[in-house]
Amino acid sequence: MKRVLLAVVLAVAVVAGLIVWVLAAPDSDKAPAQSAPPSAEPTTSSPKPRAAGSGCPKRAARAFAPRTISVPGITGPTPVITPPRDAAGIPGIPPLSSAGKTVFAWDREQGIRPGDRRGNVLLNAHTWPDGSALGNRLLGSLDRGDRIRVRGANSQICYRVTERVEVLAADGLPRYYAKDGRPQLAIVVCSGRRLGPGVWEKRTIWFASPRA
């Protein structure tokens, strides 16, 4: 019974944290290309080029649903799941489980896929206080200049990280939800200080553009 109550408390806390994040952003159908001014300037990282490698195109014949994502510093391709948005329109997150902490969630309802010519492919991952989740590893290894390989059933595209930005959770970053502008990956994880179960001080967002 105690385990059930603990799971319920954790789930409520995580949803509450996401609601704060989403409410800081505009309706996704009307998201502007620029972010709202935060209370403090976002912090950005310095470029850190990586070897380009080979055999990875920056364009696909057609847009596709992502199945795995390969990121520098993380062993093996990482699975991608597609949880639905909730009744409030909040993008779905991975489950609070051992399996859920090691996968990306792709927001299919954004309507943007890898290979589309405009807009952001929305992705998110968990950060855990013990440092064992995918989000923790992204925070420790993914930086500007790094290459991300996205694979579908029969297609793949490579992206280069162009920006890594950290903002206060209360401010959000509205351009994360952009449907216009150049095609990008937009990956968000919790960061900064952990204020309580499922509640983190900041969000870190990576933007990556198609590039072989």
Lowest mean pLDDT among 17-31, 115-129, 193-207: 17-31
Measured CA to CA, the distance from residue 24 to residue 109 in angstroms comes to: 19
Instruction: Describe the chain by its helix, strand, coil percentages, rounded to 5.
Output: 20, 30, 50
Higher-pLDDT residue of 30, 186: 186
Q: Minimal CA–CA distance to 48: which of 140, 128, 161, 137?
A: 161
pLDDT tens digit sequence for 80-103: 999 999 888 989 999 999 999 999
Number of domains in the chain: 1
Beta-carbon contacts of residue 130 (< 8 Å; ≥ 6 apart): none
pLDDT of residue 49: 43
pLDDT of residue 54: 52
* Confidence (pLDDT) at 212: 64
Element containing residue 94 per DSSP (H, E): none
Task: Give the type of residue at 3.
Answer: R
| pLDDT at position 56 | 84
Quick one: what percent of the chain has pLDDT higher than 70?
74
Q: Report residue 192 as tokens.
A: 């900064």
Return the structure tokens found at 69: 């994502």
Q: Are strands 120-124 and 184-196 parallel, antiparallel or unpaired?
A: parallel
| Residue 48 CA neighbour count, 13 Å, CB half | 11
CATH number of residue 162's parent domain: 2.40.260.10
CA distance 204 to 176: 11
**177 backbone dihedrals φ, ψ, rounded to 5°:** -90, 5
Distance of alpha carbon 150 from alpha carbon 144, whole angstroms: 17
Give the domain extent around 94: 2-210
Radius of gyration of the chain (CA): 16
Whole-model pTM? Answer: 0.76
Q: Is the pLDDT of residue 41 over 70?
A: no
At 147-184, the pLDDT tens digits run 999 999 999 999 999 999 999 999 999 999 999 999 99
